Structure 1
Amino acid sequence: MVDPMTFVICFLGALIILGAAGIHVAVIMFVIAGVTALITLGPAIVMNIGNLAWATQNDFILVSVPLFILLGELLLRAGLSERMYAALAAWTSKVPGGLLHTNIVSCGLFAATSGSSIATAATIGTVALPAFREREYDERIVLGSLAAGGTLGILIPPSINMIVYGAMTDTSIGRLFAAGAIPGLVLIALFMLTIAGLALWRPAIAGKGEKPVDWATRLIMLVDLVPLIIVGLIVMGSIYAGWATATEAAGLGVVAALVIVALYGRLSIRMLNAAFRSTIRTTGVVLLIVVAAFFLNFVISLLGVPQAIASWIRDMGISPLQTILVLVLLYLVLGCFLETLSMMVTTIPVVTPLVVSLGFDPVWFGVFLVVMAELSLITPPVGMNLYVVHGIRGPGRDITEVMVGAAPFVATMLLLTGLLIAWPQLALWLPDRLYQ
């Protein structure tokens, strides 16, 4: 057995130092796992990395990752995001906060087909920012709402991060997707309440207001939401009905997306080439991190680190609730230095066995972990959504404006975290009903 405190300190220290040096997180995990295995277990374990990588990549669940990425790429290139944003703007323009609510709802709807927070923030941000420039909205809140709304991409199903968590912990992907649905809707509502509260407190943040849109126009524009809703129903409906696994549902979603792209007249060899290239790049990055995480998981399991840490926590007499609160602080700190998927896969092998041993449901913890990952997307200095939105805005501007605008939404997400801890059924009620 390895002393758990020594391992945790060395592991986190190496993670932060090497990450700050600009080394890719997959390389960091390979180095940590390889050096640890070489010193404690011998070279034979290190040489086994090839077999482990092959077994990991053959996991049927992980096949869904490139399919969901491709699904998002196809819908992005179909031009649906512009139509969706305009339709939603017609319905949210008269609520206190105006178009700011459209940012959140659009991100939530696109998240239901994307599975990626960065893709969600980039897509909606590209469409939304021009609409605000002529309306005198407070730019900081506009940017903050886009960065925060983008985080919904990994909470509202389908979610690539949940797929990776399910693959690493042998947890049902269907249950994880169902568990993320209600917290995702609650977070949308909380974001909108935050915006409404800010607008009532400081009406100037909502600019000059919006022109009224008659009911007939609103109803006609709802047609532009139909394609995304159809794709979402095909993907999630086939999973919840028991007709398809997550991987098969992703394949069905891709077929549906291809039909929609063709109907909108966007299907071409050039478009498919761009979508496939982008999918390959993103998939390569994601699966390299996953293979490195599985290798790290393999090494620390042989060393008995998760069991040692669980015993150490029990011996300290810390209650399960106190342990979760410590994890909240840990993830808030790690989120300042690591990208979301990196933060998840580097801690899952150590933290998940501990949490499950304390009596927490692994499905609930998956949702909790994804919410913590969402927070890392909008907390500086490495909040990826902050940089994505800042990049869309254009060069020569101060990124601190995006950070200030996102600050109220950080508090909102901490409120959701508190609700999940106080009321686990917020995440577990739906999967318990669907998978009895």
Structure 2
Amino acid sequence: MLLSVGGLLLIAMLVLLASGVWIGITLGITGWIGQALFTSTPPGMNLFSAFWESNVSWELAALPLFVWMGEILFRTKLSEQMFEGLAPWLSRVPGRLMHTTILGCGVFGSVSGSSAATCATIAKVALPELKRRGYNEQLALGSLATAGTLGILIPPSITMVVYAVAADASIIRIFLAGFIPSAILMLLFSGYIAWWSVRNKHLMPPAEPRYSLAEKLRLSAALIPCVLLIVFIVWVLIAGWATATECAAYGVLGALVIAAAGGNLTWENFKAGLVGATRLSCMIMFILAGAAFLTKTMAFTGIPRELAEWVNSMHLSPYALIAALVVVYLVLGTALDGISMIVLTSAVVLPMVQLAGFDLIWFGIFVVLLVEIAEVTPPVGFNLFVLQSMTGKDSNTIARAALPFFACLVVCIAVITVFPEVVTWLPNYVMGPEKK
């Protein structure tokens, strides 16, 4: 009976989404229908309490701060400095400057926390430069579309904060858990670029002049401010000197200092960054509020409990459950953005995952990787839209160029599934095993 109620609510949600209703409002309406028709609790009172409780969280205060930090850096010349600093060290590596798309996205992603911002920022500098030097455009587009997703896997990450709040998990543990998988993913991306370059030497441009060590060090000096900001944020997190929210505040302050020192902090930049951060943060928090209300509906109806018991009665193996969730998230990724995927499914999926015996920290990284795939999956792939608007190429053309790197994402998911210690080792090593 309850599962049929869940099916009706799902149909209502899909109809609202297909009608173009905003995600946050869709969640709220669906929750209201569920409480008004299938419970005896007053939906109005629960709506107000859900909206207040979801947005008054201290942990959630980190989200708008990290968003603002990324907006500040997005409007400075940081991306150009990173490209110039990384390029000299790659002249003798197979693929040469093509690796700057991976390294640049990795470095900028670690301070922006946004996939779209990372993709757009690095593409603005890398694409014209790579095209001018004769590098293959398809390979460049594919690497940028997928490497841009590193912004949500390398801490600090907005998506990780949203998942941690939805799962009532430690933000610091989620951040720490993302480092090793992100390093593996960057190696897979760069490995494919190197392999492609060796097999297609005729498509590679002539070798560039070598840089002396002094020239390399001089050009790399532009990386110092960004590296110092990353090291500082990560260090105070690991050392326990500050919470994730306090680190986000330090990140904003550091971004302002970097922008001011580079002579790029104008009133226009400051205002634009603040307005952009406010808009994005309000959108995310509105979605979270609607999801919190829907979660209350799920709790009152008992759907998650019955669904978890139903899945348990099927005696699915852990890997079978994970395989089923991969299919579900891949399907959702064709129509929803990553944050919406998390908040729409957390109320139902998390009890199932816990009942199956999976670590919620591990599952958070698993979901983030699936969200990365969603960012490059048509028709709603945000990174595809970013590159389409910048290059004029059709989004399906960019998606085809990203297919080999898409496969790298799938390989990374397989690695952390077979070897979950890849995710859990670092947070357990730094902070000790999590108390149950």
The verdict on a shared fold, with TM-score over 0.5 as the criterion, is yes
Find the partner of 1:418 among 397, 414, 422. 414
Corresponding residue for residue 214 of structure 1: 212
1:136-166 CA-partner distances (Å, limit 9, x unpaired): 3221211111111110011110011111111
- Relative distance call for 1:37 and 1:198 in structure 2 (3 A) is same
Letter of the 1:300 counterpart = M
Residues 205/310 of structure 1: CA separation in 2 closer, same or farther (3 Å cut) = farther
- Map 1:26-175; keep pairs closer than 5 Å: 26-42=24-40, 44-175=42-173
- 2:399 aligned to which of 384, 399, 403: 403
Please report how far the alpha carbon of residue 78 of structure 1 lies from its aligned counterpart in structure 2 after TM superposition. Answer: 2.7
What is aligned with 1:191?
189
Match of 1:233 in 2: 231
Gaps of 5+ in 1: none
Distance apart, 1:296 and its partner CA: 1.0
Q: Distance in 1 between matches of 2:85 and 2:374?
A: 30
Q: Deviations over 1:209-265 (max 9, x none)?
A: 434323221122221111111111221211111010000010111112222222111
CA distance in 2 between counterparts of 1:290 and 1:11 reads 18
Q: Look up the equivalent residue of 1:347 and give its one-letter code.
A: T
- Unaligned stretches of 5+ residues in structure 2: none
RMSD (Å), alpha carbons: 1.6
Paired amino acid for 2:102: I
AA matched with 2:261: L
Letter in 2 for 1:426: V
1:435 to 425, 431, 434: 431
- What is the CA-CA distance between 1:293 and the residue it aligns to? 1.0
Match of 2:336 among 325, 338, 354: 338
Q: What is the match of residue 278 of structure 2? A: 280
Does the CA-based 8 Å contact 1:138-1:204 persist in structure 2? Answer: no
- Structure 1 residues 211 and 17, CA gap change in structure 2 (3 angstroms): farther
Q: Secondary structure at the match of 1:48?
A: helix
CA contact (8 A) 1:16 1:337 kept: no
Amino-acid identity (%) = 38
Number of aligned pairs?
432
Letter paired with 1:338: L
Looking at structure 1, the residues matched to 335 and 14 of structure 2 have their Cα atoms a distance apart, in angstroms, of: 7
Check conservation: 1:137, 1:208, Cα contact below 8 A: no
Q: What do residues 373-428 of structure 1 show as CA deviations (whole Å, max 9, x unaligned)? A: 111001111111111111111x4x32222111111111110000000110000100
| Aligned equivalents of 1:139, 1:11: Cα separation in 2 | 45
Q: Which residue of 1 aligns with 2:2?
A: 3
Deviation at 1:13, TM superposition (A): 4.2
Code of the aligned partner of 1:217: E
Q: Is the 8 A contact 1:137 1:205 kept in 2?
A: yes
CA distance in 2, matches of 1:346, 1:97: 40
Please tell me the residue identity of whatever aligns with 1:216.
Answer: A
Which residue identity lines up with residue 342 of structure 1 in the other structure? S
Counterpart of 2:430 in structure 1: which amino acid? L
Shift of the 15–420 alpha-carbon distance from structure 1 to 2, 3 Å rule, reads farther
Distance in 2, matches of 1:124 and 1:9, equals 42
